[in-house]
Structure 1
Amino acid sequence: MQNVVDRRLFNQLIAGGKRDKPEQVVRHLGAMQAQDYHQALWAIGLRMQSGTVADVEQNMADHKIVLTWMMRGTLHFVPAEDVKWMLELLASRTLAQDHRRLEQLELNQEIIQHASTIIYDALHGNKRQSRPELMQLLEEDGISTKNQRGYHLLWYIAQSGLICHGPKEGKLQTFVLLDEWAPNAQKRSMDEAIGILAERYFTGHGPATVQDFAWWAGITLSHARQGIEAAKSRLVSEKINGHEYWWGEPVLVGSRDAEPGVYLLPGYDEYQLGYKDRSAVLKAEFASRTIPGNNGVFMPTIVIDGQIVGIWKRAIKNKGIDIEFDLFIPLADRAEEITMAAERYCAFMNLPLALTSFKE
């Protein structure tokens, strides 16, 4: 499976051919997990030739990438020009399966439409509002936002294509109207859309299986196979250990000597989360340490020679960033490379690396 691992490192832009601009990174991977906003910024940054957290945020402010609930009902960064057809292809399936949660929260289409009108009126004309401000408007108009009702309304309305996240104001995320934020977003037929999504996924994540694609996109296996069929002329495949793997046009994997084989990846990174089967890069006995308590929270990981072999934590202090490494196996001979990877992260954050430590 080492060939699979090596190709994924390069196809995911972790090793080798990095991109110049954030929107190029996001487009290459198709979409990028973004449940943790700051971790998602680093997921983009580590795949760029150079740049800082401010560069990625400016790219979002320039309407090049969009943050919204996309596939599987989770937050993703997606290219601005693709957000509408991706929502139509992927989010509609999530909403169609939301009946039970709506009943639990005592929400119905009449309430959702009422809330949508309130939010539209508040945002129309290129305005932006924070979540607390929108919650207050809903409450003032008689719509209770307690017990997750407010969050679910925003989640539902965003996936319906009315709103998306705007730039942050201080520590608060804002919301804007999608049509105003991404006015040039394209429409595509469903057949065309599933083919493009398959090509993007396998080019940016491959080698991967049809099951990986179906899980990542939150679609059925038959729909995933339809996407592969539509993109087949632009993909290659190979049987590995009895399974069929797909990826984009062959690329030169290159030598690991070209750059260090040690990387600090953010939590929720596509390298781990972009596949149903993660066994190629993560041993089963380590899985519980990257997802403590199996609660859906993915820790930032340390990748060495393609394998997830530890986790890391940061603490931002006045003097810079302190980083603690927790390795699953003894790797004292790679300590210098791990520190170099930490320095690359701190350069992205535009802060000095203050202190590093290895957990005993």
Structure 2
Amino acid sequence: MKVSWDHVYAWRMRRQYLDPRTTQGASAIVGRLCGVQAQVWNAAELAVALRQSTPAPDSVDRDFADRSLMKTWAMRGALHLLPPSQAPAYLSLMETTGFWLKPSWQRVSGVTPRQVDALTEKVAGILDGAVLTRDQLVTRLMADTGFKSMEESLRSGWGQVLKPLAWRGVLCHGAPQGNQITFTSPASQYPTWGTMPAPDEAAPVVISAYLGAYSPATAEVFDRWLSRGSTSKPRLRRWFADIGDKVTEVDVEGRKALMLTEHVDELADIAAWKGLRLLGGFDQYILGPGTTDDVLIPARHRGLVSRAAGWISPIVVVNGRVVGVWQILDQEIVVTAFPGSARMPLKQLEAEALHVARARGLNALSVRITD
């Protein structure tokens, strides 16, 4: 089947609750998006609220407090919100990357794979039924002389030594205590947390969920989203081969990619989407397919979206494509159009600015367009 990018973007907008928006709460939205990046908490809040027809700025906080959302290191090693019932499948695939087995990682961290295994077992016992700050957790670990050499790495805010523990289902973030992060055991804190599946069992679940939001996509695009391309290529090919006829190949203006067979007719029948959306920083609309997608984001403008230190700018989406970036200065949304882009419709920008304001718990925001 052959389709256009206009069809693809219209379908993604629908599947990602961008048009139409939804009345669902945070956990349902996060589940559909295969997680929401949460390195910056208010970016995750905005990603959810902007997808709600009546924005609820506290939706993420509520669902995190009632334990229908959890925060943990997941895709690409970044912090994400995930529904606890779905998280084990994603984490199982992340563990297959095994980056702590690489000599380069061991040289930098000073930690061996055997020490990671010992740390996994020790932390599982310490966190069972407990919520501890980083300092409290490390202090407990230092009581065992076998972990003394790991103290500096364990206290690092980057959490590189703790990520394998998250992917093994031993550790996740708990509710913060003031400005201090905490860690806890997902099994002891989340009633809907399940057992950790084997990677080959988790793969069809995660791939199907991903294709249900970001189709059409190739195995390589999926792996960039999952692990920055770190999955073993034979394993990745096997995962996709094992899905069989649950996926169908489609041709998008000469690019061949996969989508769930159950969605093919919907994609073929959908009308092109004509409209404008303002989306926040680190939004899944671009993190799903990746910022290197040069149809979604023209390569010459990528530097305005994907910034230094991994920062992803808030974006302006017109007819499904990224055409600019924006920021809030005082009580004003300042929109910067990509050079050479068509003139942006001011009335639609103002309508979106009102939605952003409500999503941020504000009464209103004015709009200013710059080149």
Q: Which residue of 2 aligns with 1:41?
A: 45
Map of 1:195-274 to 2, 5 A cutoff? 195-218=204-227, 219-248=231-260, 249=263, 250-251=265-266, 253-254=270-271, 256=273, 261-274=275-288
Paired amino acid for 1:283: P
Match of 1:144 among 141, 146, 151: 151
Residues 263-315 of structure 1: CA distance to partner in whole angstroms, max 9, x if unpaired?
Answer: 1222222221222551221111110111234x422111111111111111235
Cα pair 1:13 1:47 within 8 Å, conserved: yes
Q: The residue matched to 2:316 in structure 1 has which SS? A: strand
Match of 1:24 among 28, 37, 42: 28
Cα pair 2:225 2:289 within 8 Å, conserved: yes
Alignment root-mean-square deviation, CA: 3.0
Q: Which residue of 2 aligns with 1:352?
A: 363
After TM superposition, give the deviation of residue 67 of structure 1 in Å.
Answer: 1.6
Taking structure 1 as the reference length, what is the TM-score of the superposition?
Answer: 0.84
Q: The residue matched to 1:80 in structure 2 has which SS? A: coil
Q: The residue matched to 2:85 in structure 1 has which SS? A: helix
Q: Which residue of 2 aligns with 1:291?
A: 306
Cα pair 2:22 2:53 within 8 Å, conserved: yes
Cα pair 2:16 2:213 within 8 Å, conserved: yes
Map of 1:302-341 to 2, 5 A cutoff? 302-315=316-329, 321-329=331-339, 332-341=343-352
Match of 1:281 among 282, 293, 296: 296
Taking only the aligned residue pairs, the percentage that are identical comes to 21
For structure 1, the 5+ residue unaligned runs are none
Cα pair 1:105 1:149 within 8 Å, conserved: no
For structure 2, the 5+ residue unaligned runs are none
Cα pair 1:309 1:328 within 8 Å, conserved: yes
Residues 232-280 of structure 1: CA distance to partner in whole angstroms, max 9, x if unpaired?
Answer: 44433312344322223133535646xxx21122222222122255122
Match of 1:128 among 126, 131, 147: 131
Paired amino acid for 1:326: T
Cα pair 1:237 1:246 within 8 Å, conserved: yes
Q: The residue matched to 2:151 in structure 1 has which SS? A: coil
Alpha-carbon distance in 1 for matches of 2:97, 2:272: 42
Paired amino acid for 1:145: E
Match of 2:64 among 51, 60, 63: 60
